[in-house]
Amino acid sequence: MNAIEWLHNHAPGFANLSAEEREAIMQFSLLWSLFESGALKTNGNAKAIADLSAHWANQGGLAKDSFAQALAYFQNRYVGNGGFTYHFGHLHFRNGDKKELVERVLRGESDAPSDIAAAVLIIVFRYRNNYLHGMKWAYELKGQLGNFTTANAALMEALELYGAHGAAP
């Protein structure tokens, strides 16, 4: 029996996921691992992400639209009716996760490319923590296709920037 068959038989909700959902989740695991091992020098945290984003901006690698699609998705998901949505609380920010930066960017109060990149990648980092530490399994991974598809696109953009401009010193 392979791992997918085992998960299908034993993991809550896994059997209800579409092939597209399963693929997006598996791709996320691979992309995050590559991003964290290289661009973050195996030290995945919000400060490292903010430092990396500032480095790319200083190298001239970031434009306002570098992460525009991800930002639009996250603003739609996490901001509404003049405040933050129910989903925003489920990112489970911890101390040191630069929640205030993410909030400023999502509210449109900062359009600095380094802030946008950092905010997007910090949200992706929260997905990573929530997924790998089991919180997403509590929801049986339901309704996560858009999140993982958006996160994967952001990670591919980040990996391209890493390839062109390297990691933060």
User: Taken in order 156, 161, 167, 169, is the CA torsion positive or negative?
Assistant: negative
Residue 144 lies in a domain: yes
- Residue 138 pLDDT exceeds 50: no
Question: What is the chain's alpha carbon radius of gyration, rounded to the nearest angstrom?
Answer: 16
Between 141 and 72, name the one with better pLDDT.
Answer: 72
3-state secondary structure 147-168: HHHHHHHHHHHHHHHHHHHCCC
Distance between terminal CA atoms of the chain? 45
Residue 151 lies in a domain: yes
Range of the domain at 158: 18-165
Residue 129 lies in a domain: yes
User: What's the number of domains the chain is made of?
Assistant: 1
Written as one letter, the residue type at 74 is F
Residue 8 lies in a domain: no
Average pLDDT (123-139) is 78
What pLDDT is attached to residue 40? 98
Residue 3 lies in a domain: no
Average pLDDT (122-141) is 78
For residues 6-33, one letter each, b for 16 or more C-beta atoms within 10 angstroms of the residue's C-beta and e for the rest, the string is eeeeeeeebeebeeebbebbebbeebbe
Between the CA of residue 168 and those of 52, 82, 102, 113, 161, what are the distances in Å? 5, 35, 20, 16, 11
Residue 5 lies in a domain: no
Residue 1 lies in a domain: no
Residue 10 lies in a domain: no
- Residue 131 pLDDT exceeds 90: no
pTM: 0.94
Between 25 and 72, name the one with better pLDDT.
Answer: 72
Average pLDDT (76-102) is 96
